[in-house]
Amino acid sequence: MTMPLSPNPSRLAGMTGRAALIAALVVIAAAGVPLVLSNYQVGLATEVMIFGILAMSVDILAGFAGRTSLGHGAIFGVSTYVVVYSTAQAGFSPATAFVLGVLAATAVASVFALLAVRTSGVYFLLLTLALGMIIWGICLRWTQVTGGENGMRGDVRPAMLLSHSAFYWAVLAGAAVVSFAMWRFVRSPFGLTLRGIRDSESRMRSLGYNVPLHLFIGFTVSGFFAGVAGALYAMFNNFVSPSTVALAQSVECVLMMIAGGVGTLFGAFIGSAAIIALENVVSSYTERWQMVLGITFVLIMIFAPEGIIGKLRAILSRKVR
Amino acid sequence: MSLFQLLNGLTFAALLFVVASGFTLIFGLLRIVNLAHGALYLFGGYIGYTVATRTGSFVLGGVGAMAAVAAIGFVLDQGLLRFVRGNELRQVLLTLGVAFFLNDLALVIWGGDSFTVPIPQLLRGGIKVFGTFYPTYRLFVLVTGVVVFAALWLLLNHTRLGALIRAGVDDAEMVEASGVNIQRIFLITFLLGSALAGLGGLMGGAFLSLYPSADAEILVFSLAVVVIGGRGSLVGIGVGSLLVGLLNTLGQVMFPELAYFVIFGPMAVLLAFRPLGLFGRAT
């Protein structure tokens, strides 16, 4: 996982020429999707990108700082709640609501971070899980504001993005920008420090790095991106309910991240596509999606903890030999 | 807070102690954070309910719940967790997957209605405690919590098995090196911890009732207890249960909509000063 650090003169915004070309081709190919697929499928593709962003934000912490968060579904959902509330109840414009949602998620993430940076390993997992459950409990019980179990409905999407393909393109543009930003973030000196903390916290501390501060900033930045995903999801769904902030949401995005490969960043989109495709196939046969999700989780943990791509690569290389 | 509410808090704390002690036994010795513990509680409750209504015996319901949940624990430990031994993160996430599976399975078997385990005739009605009329059953829960605490304390401090468990918490390799089959100790502990979740399910099912999201709720309370009390400490779990039980009741009385805050606010503050909990030790 070492990245070349020597400055390369033929770089475009930090990318090598080849990487920039690949990125451009992927975005162009993705932009053609609405031209060939049905509205329903375009909706699914939009969802894949939104959850891909969320899974990437989890990967910033899990893959690069060695801290797996089970509270990101809640951070994501806070943004969704705020966006829906501020358009439907408070009467803000979609753009203002979007900003407010992302800010709220970032604020919640920074509170989570303050408490969680002192812990690591399983304790980090437990603490973020418990914090996420608090958010869920509040959304469920604070009926006057959140609508309780029934949730809230609101026309969040701006008028110009009402059609499926227009919204798809907007999300695609957003996903491209956000992916680039996250990629730059994990490759920055700051990102390298996070990686150092992942590999050896004590070494980084003795080198004079302020480990808690780095983790705090890393968590908050990760929460910011989760907030972007949450705000997009509000516009996608025009609806929010406690299930958006529930543990299942956090678990699903962690599963997407793991399925795509921890520390691969862009693998998140593949994991997201795999899980959402699975969910749709399963849901057309049975209502037992949660059961299948649980089984998938167990199977991946036992057989492919390195992710689907890593597993396939391992199988292929075995066959070649 | 009136005496009635105080007793409510204490009885809830007793239930939490039974559930969380099983959780911390497994966590302390095996280093497994069993996030399926809440689902085991729910299964214990449902199975206890089914057995108790079919046979008409609360005791049989308790035995059935504990045995069945211990059996689920056996499958979980020997059938699944053995593949991910030694990797904490994979263990936790695997138990989470199992929790989802079990929760949905319970929905398939028992449906989404809420059930209340029938209370035996002997424990129905109420008795006067310091001038307040209080449900007998909840006092029974309180007594059971104290009995379980005493039994676990005796087991851990005055039996050979307990000595081995405590030694295993401190240094499992060393215990194994001195000729003890530590794997068997691990398994017994896992079964015991699971059975406690089952017992908790039956006890809680009789006064909190059982419904599809009850497992997540009890799990979060157990997590709070363990985080406050510290890993693997029986006294810590006792103190943690009391704190969480009383704070929860206080929160429900004073700020019903934000009751969660009242528990988790202090927990967060505590963590900031003592990351390992009140009675936790660094390993």
In the prediction, which pLDDT does B272 show? 66
Q: Cα separation of B282 and A175, whole Å?
A: 43
Q: Which residues contact B171 (CB under 8 A, 6 or more apart)?
A: none
Taking residues B11-15, what's their average pLDDT? 93
Interface touch A302/B80, C-beta < 8 Å:
yes
In the prediction, which pLDDT does A319 show? 66
Q: For B64-84, write each residue's pLDDT tens digit.
A: 999 999 999 999 999 888 888
Looking at the predicted complex, does its ipTM rise above 0.85?
A: no
Determine the distance in angstroms separating the CA of B257 from the nearest CA of chain A, rounded to an integer.
Answer: 5
Select the residue of A68, A115, A133 nearest B271 (Cβ to Cβ): A115
SS (H, E, C) chain B: CCHHHHHHHHHHHHHHHHHHHHHHHHHHHHCCCCCCHHHHHHHHHHHHHHHHHHHCCHHHHHHHHHHHHHHHHHHHHHHHHHHHCCCHHHHHHHHHHHHHHHHHHHHHHHCCCCECCCCCHHHCCEEEECCEEEEHHHHHHHHHHHHHHHHHHHHHHHCHHHHHHHHHHHHHHHHHHCCCCHHHHHHHHHHHHHHHHHHHHHHHHHHCCECCCHHHHHHHHHHHHHHHHCCCCHHHHHHHHHHHHHHHHHHHHHCHHHHHHHHHHHHHHHHHHCCCCCCCCCC
Taking residues A4-12, what's their average pLDDT? 51
The H helix count followed by the E strand count for chain A is 16, 4
The residue assigned the tokens 């490759």 is A187
H helices present in A117-210, as ranges: 121-141, 143-146, 164-187, 189-199, 201-206
In the prediction, which pLDDT does A320 show? 59
Whether A6 shows a pLDDT value over 60: the answer reads no
Task: Tell which A residues from 142 to 181 touch B, by Cβ distance under 8 Å.
Answer: 142-144
Confidence of residue B131 (pLDDT cuts 50, 70, 90): confident
Select the residue of A122, A141, A297 nearest B33 (Cβ to Cβ): A122
Whether B133 shows a pLDDT value over 90: the answer reads no
Q: Is A226 on the interface with B (CB under 8 A)?
A: no
Amino acid at A188: S
Q: Collect all residues of chain A within an 8 Å Cβ-Cβ radius of residue B31.
A: 122
10 Å CB burial of residue A234 (0-12, 13-18, 19+) is buried
Q: Is A258 on the interface with B (CB under 8 A)?
A: yes
Select the residue of B223, B257, B268 nearest A126 (Cβ to Cβ): B223
Interface touch A305/B90, C-beta < 8 Å:
yes
Q: Which residues contact B191 (CB under 8 A, 6 or more apart)?
A: B70, B73, B74, B77
In the prediction, which pLDDT does A10 show? 55
Question: What proportion of chain B, given as a percentage, has pLDDT over 70?
Answer: 96
Q: Collect all residues of chain A within an 8 Å Cβ-Cβ radius of residue B108.
A: 288, 291
Q: Give me the residue spans of the domains in chain A.
A: 35-246
In the prediction, which pLDDT does A4 show? 47
Determine the distance in angstroms separating the CA of A205 from the nearest CA of chain B, rounded to an integer.
Answer: 18
What's the mean per-residue pLDDT of chain A?
Answer: 86
What's the number of CA atoms in the CB half-sphere (13 Å) around residue A295? 10
Specify the long-range contacts of residues A35-44, CB closer than 8 Å, at least 24 apart: A35/A165, A39/A164, A42/A164, A42/A165, A42/A168, A43/A164, A43/A236, A44/A276, A44/A277, A44/A280
Q: For A83-121, write each residue's pLDDT tens digit.
A: 999 998 888 888 999 999 999 999 999 999 988 887 777
Which two three-digit tokens encode residue A32? 């053609």
Whether A9 shows a pLDDT value over 60: the answer reads no
Whether B57 shows a pLDDT value over 80: the answer reads yes
Q: Is A57 on the interface with B (CB under 8 A)?
A: no
Interface touch B33/A295, C-beta < 8 Å:
no
Backbone angles phi, psi at B133, to 5 degrees: -80, 125
Interface touch A291/B104, C-beta < 8 Å:
yes
User: DSSP assignment, residue A159?
Assistant: G
Reduced to 3 states (helix: H, G, I; strand: E, B; else coil), residue A209 is: coil
Q: Cα separation of A7 and A14, whole Å?
A: 9
Q: Collect all residues of chain A within an 8 Å Cβ-Cβ radius of residue B26.
A: none
In the prediction, which pLDDT does B181 show? 87
Question: What proportion of chain A, given as a percentage, has pLDDT over 70?
Answer: 95
For B94, the closest chain A residue by CA position comes to A298
Q: Collect all residues of chain A within an 8 Å Cβ-Cβ radius of residue B261.
A: 134, 138
Say which CATH architecture domain B3-273 belongs to.
Orthogonal Bundle (1.10)
Q: For A204-224, write each residue's pLDDT tens digit.
A: 999 999 999 999 999 999 999
Whether B261 shows a pLDDT value over 80: the answer reads no
Q: Collect all residues of chain A within an 8 Å Cβ-Cβ radius of residue B87.
A: 305
Whether A7 shows a pLDDT value over 60: the answer reads no
**Cα–Cα–Cα angle for A125, A126, A128, nearest 5°?**
65
User: DSSP assignment, residue A262?
Assistant: T
Determine the distance in angstroms separating the CA of B86 from the nearest CA of chain A, rounded to an integer.
Answer: 13
Determine the distance in angstroms separating the CA of A292 from the nearest CA of chain B, rounded to an integer.
Answer: 7
Provide the 10 A C-beta neighbour count for residue A21. Answer: 12
Among A115-119, B136-140, B177-181, name the one with the lowest average pLDDT: A115-119
Confidence of residue A321 (pLDDT cuts 50, 70, 90): low
Question: What proportion of chain B, given as a percentage, has pLDDT over 90?
Answer: 34
Rg of chain A over Cα atoms, rounded to whole angstroms, equals 19
